[in-house]
Amino acid sequence: MVARYKRNEGLHTSAADAKTNILLHLHRYGVFDWRRGLRKAELGFAAYPDYDFARPQGAAFAVAKLVREMEDDDLIGWYVDERRHGGYYLKPAGVASAAALAAVVNIAADSLPMQADTVSGATAATATQAVA
């Protein structure tokens, strides 16, 4: 019998932390309108920075529910043009939330290192209250 390697065993990221990572990632890269939208796989890699995904589809699948919830909350939107170029971008409410998150963690969103996006769920809750 061959032992199987389990990816990401022992890792856990809460939904609030993953959503925070997505907001800060989009804000850091200035994705404020549909012209610079990011694919769902890119959001997955941003949401779970320490995870090892075998394929980009795994990252996209990991955040599918979170992205849909963020769309329903009007934080992010999806756009596709006639040439099939498209992606997710921050809507005005998402820009405000990301700016509040960056202020709460006392850093500028554009100066965050790639792997240091994780903040506590309490921070996300505080920022959400600050925006509301």
Nearest CA among 54, 81, 70 for reference residue 19 = 70
Task: Grade residue 50 by pLDDT with cuts at 50, 70 and 90.
Answer: confident
Mean pLDDT of 25-29: 89
What pLDDT digit, counting tens, does each position of 111-120 carry?
Answer: 544 333 334 3
- d(C-alpha 10, C-alpha 127), whole Å: 28
Percentage, residues of the chain above pLDDT 90: 36
Q: What is the pLDDT of residues 61-81, one digit of tens each?
A: 899 999 999 999 999 999 887
Residue 106 and residue 117: Cα distance in Å, rounded? 13
For 9, 82, 105, 106, 128, the CA distances from 125, given in Å and listed in that order, are 27, 38, 12, 15, 5
**What average pLDDT does the segment 47-66 reach?**
88
Q: Which of 31, 63, 34 is nearest to 46 (CA)?
A: 63
Per-residue confidence (pLDDT) for residue 45, from 0 to 100: 92
pLDDT band at residue 41, thresholds of 50, 70 and 90? very high
Show the domains of the chain with their CATH numbers. Answer: 15-112+120-131 (1.10.10.10)
Maximum distance among all Cα pairs of the chain, rounded to whole angstroms: 55
pTM over 0.75: no
Q: What is the pLDDT of residues 80-110, one digit of tens each?
A: 877 767 899 999 999 999 988 888 765 554 4
